[in-house]
Amino acid sequence: MIVILAAILGAIIGGVTAARRKGNWKDIAQYAAGYAMAFVVVGMIVTVVVHRIMV
């Protein structure tokens, strides 16, 4: 669940960042995908840490 939320949050932040920099739709899509992938990696690490703590 954390990973999915992180991916959505990353895509939103990436899209907004590219839009603020006046990028076209390709730039917005690329930023959204890049940020989403970066946030997924962080979300996976957080998920593993939380799981290790809870068990």
> Among candidates 13, 4, 14, 15, which has minimal Cα distance to 42?
4
Write out the residue range of the structural domain in which residue 37 sits.
2-54
> Rg for the chain (alpha carbons), in Å?
13
What pTM does this model have?
A: 0.90
What total number of domains does the chain contain? 1
Predicted confidence at residue 40, as pLDDT, reads: 98
pLDDT of residue 48: 97
**What does the pLDDT read at residue 5?**
98
Residue 53 in tokens: 């703590």
pLDDT band at 55 (very low <50, low <70, confident <90, very high): confident
In tens, the pLDDT along 8-53 reads: 999 999 999 999 999 999 999 999 999 999 999 999 999 999 999 9
